Structure 1
Amino acid sequence: MYDLVLFDLDGTLTQSEFGIFSSVQYALEKFGIHETDPKNLRRFIGPPLYVSFSEFYGLTGDDGELAVKYYREVYEKDGYKEAPVYDGIKDTLKALKAKGKRLMVVTSKPQEMADRVVENVGVAEFFDAVVGPGREMLSPSKTDLINKALKLAGSDGKDAVMVGDRKFDIEGANGAGIDSVGVLYGYGSREELETAGSTYIVDTPAQILDVV
């Protein structure tokens, strides 16, 4: 099977919508945009923030960068704390470590914030490293982040698998030449994960153990 298991953060380890939604709403309000539809807000979970503000609300250039700044004003104060781990995640991580697996977090969330989230929810002990982009990177590539994690782990990718809930995770894994596990308990649909080319698809955290 696999020796190195890479986990996405939002929607895979943590149910992060609570803090993200309120932070997005705050940022949009600064531009006179009142958004209350959970379906629209949920689109922000997965892709880089700048990409989401640009693609979904036309906030590009300086406006896009300002939207990211406003978002972080709320998220970095309290929003990151509103992201509990999914039921069963800690048991799954414990079981993987008991099998001798190496675990890493690979996320588009800025490195500094990813470290704080992982520590806050009490799963830092399970991971060898947390890999995320620098704060200055507005459109980080998931493939680049995965490759960075592989290099850090000294892996050629043949023994590695990426676990995530959105197409960005699966496409990132494909770009890095590694297998992937799409999870349906997060924010992506089966259709999205299948279309992206996920190697495996599971319904629950416990089922991750069956394929890795």
Structure 2
Amino acid sequence: MHILLDLDGTLTDPKVGILTSLQHALKELGEPVPHIDELDWCIGPPLKDALLTMFGEKQPEKVNEGVRHFRERFGDVGLFENEVYPEIPEILTAMRKDGHVLHIATSKPEVFAQRILDHFKLTSHFTSINGSELDGTRGDKGELIAHILATQSIASDDAVMIGDRKHDIIGAGKNAVTGIGVLWGYGSQEELEIAGAKMCADSPRNLLQCLQVIC
């Protein structure tokens, strides 16, 4: 089975790096800067989508400026203000021993995802690392999963998408791929089940059990 794994909120906890960089962007734009805990909802969707929610489609220049200011900090500092969740390296090893082929599927720009995985020495677990382009191409999870299936020659019924937010599960559904939600990230069980998750795992070890049932 081909296992597609989200990065933020699934393999690593990116809260400090992403949200501190977002606070930096808001400050540079002269906007009110909420407390970091009030910005949790911004973890998961593409950055541009979060800024569009804040500013609306009538302010595209502000959205683009926000992305630029975010990357000023994130590309140098925020990228590594990140933490691998407990047991993640062990379960990635276990998945591979069970014969699964692993792929990263993140809406984060691919260039950033590659650097994060290299930094935490996780790269070797994955056959492919897939993310968006810096211009936002493939930021939508459905488009990204379709891209992975096509470029890696994977049949929909031979793939599982694992993630912590509804975007992961909805994207999987658009491609007839089974979605499994994880509950240690930033989405609730209700959010994931409404989006169509086949199962939800409350711990990395439980995720292995879910895979044994589905696969």
TM-score range for the pair, normalised by the shorter chain length: over 0.9
Between the aligned partners of 2:137 and 2:143, the Cα distance in structure 1 is 14
Is the CA contact (8 Å cut-off) linking 1:35 and 1:41 kept in structure 2?
no
Between the aligned partners of 1:63 and 1:8, the Cα distance in structure 2 is 28
Change (3 A) 1:27 1:163: same
Is the CA contact (8 Å cut-off) linking 2:146 and 2:175 kept in structure 1?
yes
SS of the equivalent of 2:193 reads: helix
Tell me if 1:18 matches 2:33.
no
Between the aligned partners of 1:115 and 1:160, the Cα distance in structure 2 is 22
Between the aligned partners of 2:175 and 2:145, the Cα distance in structure 1 is 7
SS of the equivalent of 1:188 reads: coil
Worse overlay, 34-43 or 90-99: 34-43
Tell me if 1:49 matches 2:47.
yes
Which structure 1 segments of 5+ residues have no match?
Answer: none
Deviation at 1:35, TM superposition (A): 2.3
Worse overlay, 102-111 or 145-154: 145-154
Percent of aligned positions that are identical: 35
Alignment map for 1:33-182 (pairs within 5 Å): 33-58=31-56, 60-137=59-136, 140-182=139-181
SS of the equivalent of 1:174 reads: helix
Which amino acid letter does the alignment assign opposite residue 87 of structure 1?
A: P
Is the CA contact (8 Å cut-off) linking 2:108 and 2:139 kept in structure 1?
no
Is the CA contact (8 Å cut-off) linking 1:131 and 1:145 kept in structure 2?
yes
Bigger fraction of residues in strand: 2
Indicate the RMSD between aligned Cα atoms, in angstroms.
Answer: 1.4
SS of the equivalent of 1:147 reads: helix
Correspondent of 1:28 among 26, 29, 35: 26
Tell me if 1:6 matches 2:10.
no
Between the aligned partners of 2:28 and 2:83, the Cα distance in structure 1 is 27
Is the CA contact (8 Å cut-off) linking 1:170 and 1:193 kept in structure 2?
yes
Between the aligned partners of 1:38 and 1:137, the Cα distance in structure 2 is 24
Change (3 A) 1:177 1:122: same
Which amino acid letter does the alignment assign opposite residue 50 of structure 1?
A: K
Superimposed CA distance per residue, residues 68-118 of structure 1 (whole angstroms, 9 cap, x where no aligned partner): 000000000011111111001111001001111100000110111111111
Aligned length: 210
Between the aligned partners of 1:196 and 1:15, the Cα distance in structure 2 is 22
SS of the equivalent of 2:161 reads: strand
Is the CA contact (8 Å cut-off) linking 2:55 and 2:62 kept in structure 1?
no
Worse overlay, 132-141 or 178-187: 132-141
Which amino acid letter does the alignment assign opposite residue 65 of structure 2?
A: L
Worse overlay, 112-121 or 164-173: 112-121
Deviation at 1:140, TM superposition (A): 2.1
Worse overlay, 151-160 or 70-79: 151-160
Tell me if 1:199 matches 2:194.
no
TM-score by length of 2: 0.94
Which amino acid letter does the alignment assign opposite residue 36 of structure 2?
A: P
Change (3 A) 1:114 1:5: same
Deviation at 1:138, TM superposition (A): 6.5
Between the aligned partners of 2:35 and 2:20, the Cα distance in structure 1 is 12
